[in-house]
């Protein structure tokens, strides 16, 4: 699979279609996010697999936003999995990236990763390399939903109380791009208090991820306290799907139903 990606990237770079390819590289014994440019050695390129499939996934779209801001005239290619692709569509919708300046290089996720992520679409719309895996089976949300209300509440409170307020969930999130963050507003979230006010802190983030969360799971992987954040956001996502038939990133230009009020009252 990596050879196909290498050839594709070489072709894009040599033709001058792109200024650089944002992907992953193996260096210093680690897998690192990396910008490949014309003439660079593509031999050390990686797809993020270290010991287990996809265990070195990084928020490449987040880095892409930084590059695009600094070099708005340039076109960049970026390595995308299914979740990253949903992310790109959503970032286009929210005007954070210009689709004319982005060339996605799509890879499929192996079955074990799709299963581990319980991912409903473990491949991007346009696939450069790889075979499509079967969608993962949702389990985590159902397992929590099976608890009676009081136990469910205790379950979440016991998880949230472990929060050390590192903001890693938001820092790593490729979809967190607000200039002003509610969770960093002194009037709403008191500084210097641990744990933060629960469950409000985590529910606030969950609410703000409606129409944003593309279920990449990087937040949960970044959480030093192992709070099952992904389960929380999956639950929010499932409510959106059931109530509004809305899946984040499924259709470019489709905003979350919770934002429809903007159109109704403001812009018509």
Residue 51 or 267 having the CB closest to another protein: 51
33 forms part of the interface with another protein (CB under 8 A): yes
Q: Which of 42, 54, 59, 106 is nearest to 79 (CA)?
A: 106
Among 6, 10, 165, 235, binds another protein (CB under 8 A): 165
Strands 30-37 and 20-27: antiparallel
Among 2, 126, 142, 164, binds another protein (CB under 8 A): 164
50 forms part of the interface with another protein (CB under 8 A): yes
**CB-neighbour burial class of residue 131 (10 A; exposed 0-12, middle 13-18, buried 19+):** exposed
Selected range binding another protein among 23-31, 79-87, 121-129, 249-257, rule: CB under 8 A: 23-31
Helix 82-93 / helix 60-70 crossing angle, nearest 10 deg = 40
Residue 183 or 240 having the CB closest to another protein: 183
99 forms part of the interface with another protein (CB under 8 A): no
Residue 30 or 139 having the CB closest to another protein: 30
19 forms part of the interface with another protein (CB under 8 A): yes
205 forms part of the interface with another protein (CB under 8 A): no
221 forms part of the interface with another protein (CB under 8 A): yes
Residue 6 or 38 having the CB closest to another protein: 38
Name the minimum Å distance from CB 160 to another protein: 17
Q: Which of 36, 97, 66, 63 is nearest to 218 (CA)?
A: 63
**Dist. CA 107–CA 2, nearest whole Å:** 9
171 forms part of the interface with another protein (CB under 8 A): yes
Residues 201, 204, 209, CA angle at the centre, nearest 5°? Answer: 130
Name the strand (E) or helix (H) holding 105: strand 102-106
70 forms part of the interface with another protein (CB under 8 A): yes
Q: How many CA atoms lie within 13 A of 162 on its CB side?
A: 12
Name the strand (E) or helix (H) holding 78: strand 76-80
Residue 135 or 168 having the CB closest to another protein: 168
255 C-beta neighbours (distance < 10 Å), count = 16
Residue 71 or 153 having the CB closest to another protein: 71
Give exposure, 141-170, as e/b (b: 16+ Cβ within 10 Å): beebeeeeeeeeeeebeebbeebeeebbbb
Among 23, 59, 124, 130, binds another protein (CB under 8 A): 59
31 forms part of the interface with another protein (CB under 8 A): yes
138 forms part of the interface with another protein (CB under 8 A): no
Q: Which two tokens stand for residue 229?
A: 């954040």
Q: Which parts of this chain interact with another protein (CB under 8 A)?
A: 16, 19-20, 27-35, 37-38, 50, 55-59, 63, 66-67, 70-71, 74, 164-168, 171-172, 221-224
């Amino acid at each position: 699979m990596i050879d196909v990606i290498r050839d594709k990237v070489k072709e894009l770079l040599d033709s001058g279609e792109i200024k650089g390819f944002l992907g992953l590289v193996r260096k210093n014994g680690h897998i690192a996010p990396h910008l490949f440019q014309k003439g660079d050695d593509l031999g050390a390129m990686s797809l993020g697999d270290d010991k287990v499939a996809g265990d070195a996934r990084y928020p490449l779209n987040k880095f892409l936003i930084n590059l695009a801001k600094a070099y708005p005239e340039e076109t960049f290619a970026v390595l995308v999995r299914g979740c990253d692709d949903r992310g790109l569509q959503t970032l286009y919708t929210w005007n954070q990236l210009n689709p004319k300046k982005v060339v996605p290089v799509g890879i499929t996720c192996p079955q074990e990763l799709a299963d581990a992520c319980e991912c409903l679409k473990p491949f991007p719309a346009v696939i450069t390399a790889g075979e499509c895996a079967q969608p993962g089976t949702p389990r985590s949300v159902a397992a929590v939903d099976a608890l009676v209300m009081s136990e469910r509440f205790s379950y979440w409170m016991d998880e949230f109380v472990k929060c050390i307020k590192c903001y890693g969930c938001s820092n790593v999130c490729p979809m967190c791009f607000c200039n002003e963050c509610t969770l960093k507003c002194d009037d709403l979230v008191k500084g210097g208090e641990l744990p933060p006010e629960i469950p409000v802190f985590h529910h606030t983030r969950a609410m703000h991820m409606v129409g944003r969360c593309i279920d990449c799971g990087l937040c949960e992987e970044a959480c030093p306290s192992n709070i099952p954040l992904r389960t929380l956001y999956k639950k929010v996502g499932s409510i959106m799907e059931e109530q509004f038939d809305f899946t984040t990133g499924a259709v470019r230009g489709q905003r979350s139903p919770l934002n429809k009020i903007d159109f109704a009252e403001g812009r018509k």
